[in-house]
Amino acid sequence: MNEKSETMKDKDLKVTVHDEDDGSVLKIEGEPQERVEAVVQRLYHDHLHRERREGDRLRCDANGDDVFAHLSEDLQAYRSTHCRELVWNFLGDQGGASV
């Protein structure tokens, strides 16, 4: 592997998160070999300022795939196989009657 390709491989990846509860957008950087879980933890710690709760939803914008199902994967592999653009949508829980 040449120097250029190593540089590209090691470059941090940027995850874009649309917070569908308040309409904001944030960017979270992650290292390619970092677990998806670490990026999710930064989302909660730095932006949401709380722990994950039952009912929270975090999904890939392109296909609706559940990000929480891939916490143990490294970010680069996750990007390659599940969410190429690394754009996520976050929604907290909501209540209501069922149909």
Partner 1 sequence: MILPPADPVVAARTFRSHLDTYWLNSGRDSKGWTCTQIDELHTVVTIPARHADDGVDPYYVRLGAEYYDAYPPTVLIVAPEEGWPRARAGTPWWPIVTSLNWCALHDTYSYCDPQGQPLFEGQLVCFSMTAEYYMSNHGPTEEQRWTPGRHTVAATLSRLGEILSPPHYGGPSAARPV
Indicate the residue among 8 and 69 with the shorter CB distance to partner 1. 69
SS3 content of the chain, % helix, strand, coil (to 5): 30, 25, 40
Q: Does 98 bind partner 1 (CB under 8 A)?
A: yes
Q: Are 74 and 32 in contact (CB under 8 A)?
A: yes
Q: Cβ–Cβ contacts within 10 Å for residue 35, how many?
A: 18
Write the binding mask 7 to 46 for partner 1: x where contact by CB under 8 A, - elsewhere. Answer: -----------xxxxxxxx---------------------
| Shortest distance, position 10 Cβ to partner 1, whole Å | 30
